[in-house]
Amino acid sequence: MQFPQKEVHNKQYLFALIIAGTILGLAGTDLVLPAVPTLPEYIKGTLSQAQLVLAAFTGGTAIGLLVFGELGARYDKKSLLLGTLAAYSITSFLCSFSGTILELVGYRVVQGFFAAAPAVFAPGIIRLLFDDRSALRALGLMGSIESVVPALAPVAGTLLLHYTDWRASFFITAGLAFLLSIIWLFTAALPTGSAVQQDKVSRSSYLALLRSGPFLRYALSQAFTLGGLLIFVFGAPTVITIGMNGSLGDFVIMQVIGITLFIIASNTVHSLVERFGPEWTIWFGSGLAATGSVAILIYALVTPNREPAMLWILFAFVNLGLGVRGPPGFYQAIIASGDNDARGAALVILLVFATTSIGTALLAPFITLGLLPLAATAAAVSVSALVVLFFFPPMIATKDL
């Protein structure tokens, strides 16, 4: 259901603010990543404790997804964004004054908690601002930009570490988040639904979404396709360098090819949706990603001397498939959640988190055995997306996007 729009809003301007908020949330992990191994040299703590700096942020984000999904269903999203960005700025600033690594870990939990808000609110706000076709294109563009952040932010973090010290990433994050909160302060109120609609949403719950077959169809299939890709990405550096006698350069090439294809697909998929409809497009993209994952598994099974360069080709299909199904799959999940879009977005992202974390944890004891365990895990998760699409029902009278 589309909420009424107000012409006073500059849609492109608000979309840019939304993207800026989600980028800052992603940068909370990736910008500080290069400094983690050197933290024990600057503040009291051990290297094992330093790894918790990353885990703490992720844990805080997982909690924040559920909390802000609930708050976003009850209160004004603009006010929540303004408040959470200000709080994110303050906690980022406090991180830079940590005297021990464990103190930093504590701040990072809170920082990750507030970083979750923009990602939760973004799909619902996009749905408020645009018609279905434009919203699909906006989600594709946002996904493209977000896919580049994990690649570029560590590079920026390395440069900051070279010219300053570990605190610089937190100072920059704090400053940018504060600036963005000030901009939201002077931005016009976002359009909202009627009082009846808002009351209906506030009385709903996460349980209502978990009981919805159509919502689970799109949310779980999205989580399994993206989760399968991320599990492979997280394990690939170790497998390529240890199990396949390759180098990190091979991993970088694989990522560059994959991200490029994802960006192209996610920004042109609206043409496929217009021609074949969202359901066919989601099936096609999920099948393409699963085919790429299964092809890697077959390659691991039949080829004793594995070349990293083959992953450049085979893993490209996984990225291409995600680019095709990602925007329409996410948007269909938001539509299937009805007016309950904040909780819907939170659950989709949380399911991606859970799938990736569980898969990576189960794989960890076998990661040194080479490509086969990694390929088998990623393939099993990716194929699960097709199983979900087969058994869970689509929305009734799904409209063309």
**Per-residue 3-state assignment (H helix, E strand, C coil) for 98-138:** CCEHHHHHHHHHHHHHHHHHHHHHHHHHHHHHCCHHHHHHH
Cβ 248 vs Cβ 126: under 8 Å: no
Look at 183 and 252; give whichever has higher pLDDT: 183
User: What local confidence, expressed as pLDDT, does residue 318 receive?
Assistant: 96
Q: Which residues contact 360 (CB under 8 A, 6 or more apart)?
A: 230, 231, 234, 235
- Quickly state the pLDDT bin for 3 (edges 50, 70, 90): very low
Q: How many Å is the maximal CA-CA distance in the chain?
A: 64
* Residue spans per domain, the chain: 11-192, 206-391
What are 303-353's pLDDT values in tens digits? 877 889 999 999 999 999 999 999 999 889 988 888 788 888 888 888 988
Angle at 55 between CA 52 and CA 59, to 5 degrees: 130
Token pair of 227 as six digits? 């989760």
Distance CA 179, CA 82 (A): 10
* pLDDT at position 1 over 60: no
Distance CA 32, CA 296 (A): 32
User: What local confidence, expressed as pLDDT, does residue 29 receive?
Assistant: 76
**CATH number listed for the domain at residues 11-192:** 1.20.1250.20
* pLDDT at position 171 over 60: yes
C-alpha dihedral sign at 222, 223, 228, 232: positive
- Average pLDDT for residues 230-254, to the nearest whole number? 85
Q: Evaluate whether the domain defined by 206-391 bears CATH number 1.10.1060.10.
A: no
Distance CA 288, CA 323 (A): 10
- Average pLDDT for residues 130-148, to the nearest whole number? 81
- Average pLDDT for residues 344-371, to the nearest whole number? 86
- Report the predicted TM-score, pTM, of the whole model to 2 decimal places: 0.81
User: What local confidence, expressed as pLDDT, does residue 397 receive?
Assistant: 54
Beta bridge partners of 100: 44
Taking all residues of the chain, what is their mean pLDDT, rounded to a whole number? 86
Distance CA 116, CA 347 (A): 12
Q: Which of 172, 197, 74, 61 is nearest to 118 (CA)?
A: 61
Cβ 59 vs Cβ 109: under 8 Å: yes
User: What local confidence, expressed as pLDDT, does residue 399 receive?
Assistant: 47
Look at 184 and 289; give whichever has higher pLDDT: 289
Distance CA 117, CA 115 (A): 6
Look at 284 and 26; give whichever has higher pLDDT: 284
User: What local confidence, expressed as pLDDT, does residue 153 receive?
Assistant: 76
